[in-house]
């Protein structure tokens, strides 16, 4: 009844091609932004930011990055954990080498460094396709983690082999280290998420995104109609790694505070983020967020119900989590291969006609 | 003979033995990939699950004991009997066949015609499911697997090489058994696929799904069959790896080790899986032995992947893979 485009007249091309063409969608988006920026920070506490908001926002960035590579450009990658590690260690080296420079610049530079590494490991994608590429990206995963464990320069020769985020502040507010307040953690992640999601949305609906999708759908055909596969694939790897690198940098500096490459950025992380985009929806910006929210909230929910509610031991709950995640992935692939994003789209289709379906 | 060369020879031999074990896992992948075009990531978890089931049956564990205890507050864990190894192996193989049937009926049936990459991701989901299921069913503690395979240093080889070179080679008995079992398995599979009716049908399906259907081969039966065989191969691999290093979570990670083996050998070739396994096994041991100490050791973690990656740049279909022809 309320959710429809009737009466919502477009008078320019700009209006017509906007991200949220329906007024209610637009309003929803503005309300969401208002709540996220001006309401949540005043009510957030340590538990919520550490258990829900910080991981959700950071994984959303990583999922956006992987979705650009896998969902839009069709190159399956299992090296996300390794690239996150590059972002984390790059930000650590930058923070300790140039303490006077703002951490925002460090995080963005860390993304840039990851982009370079990503392109280097993406080069084989010109020759290797499909599964072979997926396995080839495992080389990045294992090699990078090994390098960060074995080369002491990366962790500044610390005895434990760990990296620890020093205290840094933005505009006088501490954002890293143990003294960070909950809302500051939340805000820095939120700012990055909003900016990067905007970038991703506009990249994917522009010329670059169309080239990526051409390569995804059939690379030879795309090449014939004039898409340069080298540029398209390399730009997908670069942009994706940039996102993943920023996610890794935030994950280490803001969320964890201390990290060890094998533990924090292992192969399980690569799979976790891959699951996010499968459940959320391949080739969808909204899907990246939905998948990240789902994969972050589900363990919290299960833990509360099984351990808190039924009093089961924690290891049993953890095993159930594995089963449920695995089962859900299979169910999603069977019932709705396009993930939560497609369900959302269908709901909106239905809502347009509701409550008068004819 | 100089000492270093002898060391290198010993390392090479041990690498060959390790390579056989990689090849065992890779074999399961190739079987399923050839018959159904599915890249079965769950193969490693199948090996873990098979080994867990074997140990569980052998020691008379109560399935889901942990869960039952948590819900009803009871204290059950073992039945008062132990099952002989051979019967336990047969029962475990039965469980794997049942598993193959369930997978075919409830997962693969619904995914026919989907793009390969969707099927691949479905097997990742399957792997996670089985991992959690196996842990709930049998518990997640490290178990010792003992089906009476010989273990420890082979005294004869040690003695013979000592007589020849004045330096005894250390070769594990278990590795030798694994090598023999693997060769028997490959021989049996080859004979099966060349000379039996079902084997021929299997090759027909691998060659062309729709042509096989049109001459009256049941695709469903072939899929159940091939997943059962892969389950059996997983059981053998699980026994070998489990006897070597205990049945534990890390067993499922050997699947990841088998991937570069496959890439080297080509996804569609059984000999490729064996040769790839041997190359990777020897290569990573020799690399760790020669270059490893210079750059900090533990190179086994990545050597196989990087080797496969470099190799693929020059030959994208692997050593024995079919030539990839792409059409628009």
**Residue A142's domain spans which residues?**
44-266
Q: Domains in chain A: how many in total? A: 1
pLDDT at B146: 74
Centre a 10 Å sphere on the Cβ of residue B163 and count the other Cβ atoms it contains: 9
Query: How far, in whole angstroms, is CA B303 from its chain's centroid?
Result: 19
Query: Which pLDDT band, with edges at 50, 70 and 90, does A106 fall under?
Result: very high
Q: Which segment, B58-72, B89-103, B209-223, is predicted with the most confidence on average? A: B89-103
pLDDT at A91: 93
Residue A62 lies in a domain: yes
Cα nearest neighbour of A323 on chain B: B129
- Convert A156-165 to b/e letters by CB count within 10 Å (16 or more is b): eeeeeeebbb
Angle at B138 between CA B137 and CA B144, to 5 degrees: 160
Residue A257 pLDDT exceeds 80: yes
Cβ B328–A143 below 8 Å, yes or no?
Answer: no
Cα nearest neighbour of A76 on chain B: B117
Question: B272 contacts in A (CB within 8 Å)?
Answer: none
State the nearest Cα–Cα gap between B123 and chain A, in angstroms: 8
SS3 A225: coil
Centre a 10 Å sphere on the Cβ of residue A7 and count the other Cβ atoms it contains: 6
Question: A136 contacts in B (CB within 8 Å)?
Answer: 263, 305, 308-309, 312
Residue A328 lies in a domain: no
Residues B11, B256, A324, B239: is their CA dihedral positive or negative? negative
Cβ B299–A146 below 8 Å, yes or no?
Answer: yes
Q: Is A131 on the interface with B (CB under 8 A)?
A: yes
* pLDDT, tens digit (0-9, with 9 covering 90-100), for A266-302: 888 998 999 899 888 888 999 999 999 999 998 888 8
* pLDDT, tens digit (0-9, with 9 covering 90-100), for B158-186: 777 777 776 777 777 888 888 888 888 88
Angle between helices B173-195 and B3-36 (to 10 degrees): 30
> What's the rounded Cα separation, in Å, for the pair B18 and B257?
11
Of A218, A220, A329, the CB nearest to B128: A329
pLDDT at A225: 92
Cβ B122–A324 below 8 Å, yes or no?
Answer: no
Residue A355 lies in a domain: no
- Give me A357's structure tokens: 């379906």
Picking from A316, A320, A324, A325 by the largest number of B CB atoms within 10 A of its own CB, the best residue to mutate is A316
Q: Are A121 and A139 in contact (CB under 8 A)?
A: yes
> What's the rounded Cα separation, in Å, for the pair B290 and A352?
68
State the nearest Cα–Cα gap between B256 and chain A, in angstroms: 9
Cβ B259–A138 below 8 Å, yes or no?
Answer: yes
Residue B264 pLDDT exceeds 80: yes
* pLDDT, tens digit (0-9, with 9 covering 90-100), for B17-76: 888 888 888 888 888 887 777 888 888 888 889 988 988 888 877 788 777 777 777 777
Residue A343 lies in a domain: no
Surface of A (65-94) touching B: CB under 8 A: 76
Residue A235 lies in a domain: yes
Residue A313 lies in a domain: no
- Among residues A232, A329, A260, A323, the alpha carbon closest in space to that of A81 is found at A260
Whether ipTM tops 0.90, in short, is: no
Q: Are A78 and A137 in contact (CB under 8 A)?
A: yes
Question: B72 contacts in A (CB within 8 Å)?
Answer: none
Residue A42 pLDDT exceeds 80: yes
Q: Is the peptide bond before A355 cis (omega within 30 degrees of 0)?
A: yes
Average pLDDT of chain B, as a whole number:
81
Average pLDDT of chain A, as a whole number:
88
Residue A226 lies in a domain: yes
Residue A96 lies in a domain: yes
- Give me B84's structure tokens: 């002989």
């Amino acid at each position: 009844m309320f959710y429809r485009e009737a009466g919502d007249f477009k008078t320019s091309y700009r209006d017509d091609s906007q991200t949220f063409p329906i007024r209610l969608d637009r309003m929803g988006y503005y309300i969401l932004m208002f709540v996220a920026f001006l309401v949540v920070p005043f009510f957030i506490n340590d538990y919520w930011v550490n258990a829900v908001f910080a991981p959700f926002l950071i994984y959303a960035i990583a999922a956006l990055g992987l979705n650009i590579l896998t969902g839009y450009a069709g190159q399956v990658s299992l090296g996300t954990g390794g690239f996150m590690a590059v972002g984390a260690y790059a930000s650590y080296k930058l923070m300790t080498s140039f303490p006077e420079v703002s951490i925002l610049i460090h995080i963005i530079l860390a993304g840039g460094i990851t982009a370079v590494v990503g392109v280097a490991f993406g080069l084989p994608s010109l020759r290797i396709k499909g599964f072979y590429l997926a396995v080839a990206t495992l080389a990045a995963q294992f090699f990078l983690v090994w390098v960060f464990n074995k080369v002491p320069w990366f962790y500044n020769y610390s005895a434990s082999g760990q990296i620890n985020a020093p205290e840094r502040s933005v505009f006088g507010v501490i954002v890293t280290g143990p003294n960070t307040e909950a809302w500051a953690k939340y805000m820095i992640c939120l700012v990055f998420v909003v900016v990067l999601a905007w970038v991703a949305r506009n990249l994917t609906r522009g010329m670059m995104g169309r080239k990526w999708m051409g390569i995804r759908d059939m690379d030879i055909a795309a090449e014939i109609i004039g898409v340069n596969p080298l540029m398209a694939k390399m730009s997908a790897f670069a942009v994706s790694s940039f996102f993943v690198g920023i996610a890794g940098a935030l994950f280490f500096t803001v969320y964890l505070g201390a990290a060890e490459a094998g533990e924090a950025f292992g192969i399980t992380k690569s799979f976790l983020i891959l699951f996010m985009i499968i459940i959320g929806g391949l080739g969808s910006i909204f899907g990246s967020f939905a998948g990240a929210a789902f994969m972050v909230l589900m363990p919290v929910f299960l833990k509360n119900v099984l351990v808190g509610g039924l009093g089961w031991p924690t290891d049993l709950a953890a095993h159930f989590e594995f089963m449920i995640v695995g089962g859900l992935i299979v169910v999603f692939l069977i019932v709705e291969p396009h993930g939560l994003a497609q369900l959302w789209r269908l709901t909106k289709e239905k809502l347009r006609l509701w409550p008068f379906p004819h | 003979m100089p000492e270093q060369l002898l060391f290198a020879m010993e390392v090479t031999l041990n690498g060959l033995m390790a390579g056989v074990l990689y090849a065992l896992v890779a074999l399961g992948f190739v079987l399923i990939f050839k018959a159904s075009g599915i890249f079965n990531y769950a193969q490693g978890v199948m090996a873990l699950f098979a080994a867990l089931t074997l140990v569980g049956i052998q020691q008379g564990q109560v399935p889901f004991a942990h869960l039952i205890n948590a819900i009803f507050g009871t204290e059950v864990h073992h039945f008062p009997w132990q099952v002989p190894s051979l019967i336990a192996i047969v029962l475990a193989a039965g469980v794997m066949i049942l598993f193959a049937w369930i997978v075919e009926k409830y997962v693969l049936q619904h995914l026919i015609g989907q793009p390969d990459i969707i099927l691949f991701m479905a097997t990742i989901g399957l792997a996670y499911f089985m991992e959690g299921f196996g842990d709930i069913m049998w518990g997640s503690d490290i178990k010792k697997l003992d089906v009476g395979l010989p273990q420890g240093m082979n005294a004869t080889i040690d003695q013979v090489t000592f007589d020849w070179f004045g330096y005894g080679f250390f070769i594990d008995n278990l590795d030798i058994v694994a090598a023999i079992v693997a060769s028997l398995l490959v021989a049996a599979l080859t004979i099966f696929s060349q000379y039996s009716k079902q084997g021929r049908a299997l090759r027909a399906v691998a060659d062309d799904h729709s042509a096989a259907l049109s001459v009256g081969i049941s695709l469903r039966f072939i899929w159940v069959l091939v997943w059962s065989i892969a389950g059996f191969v997983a059981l053998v691999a699980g026994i070998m790896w489990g006897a070597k290093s205990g049945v534990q979570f890390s067993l499922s990670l050997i699947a990841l080790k088998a991937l570069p083996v496959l890439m080297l050998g080509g996804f569609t070739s059984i000999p490729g899986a064996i040769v790839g396994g041997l190359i990777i096994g020897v290569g990573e041991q020799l690399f760790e032995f020669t270059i490893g100490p210079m750059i900090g050791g533990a190179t086994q973690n990545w050597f196989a992947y990087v080797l496969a990656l470099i190799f693929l740049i020059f030959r994208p279909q692997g050593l024995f893979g079919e030539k990839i022809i792409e059409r628009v």
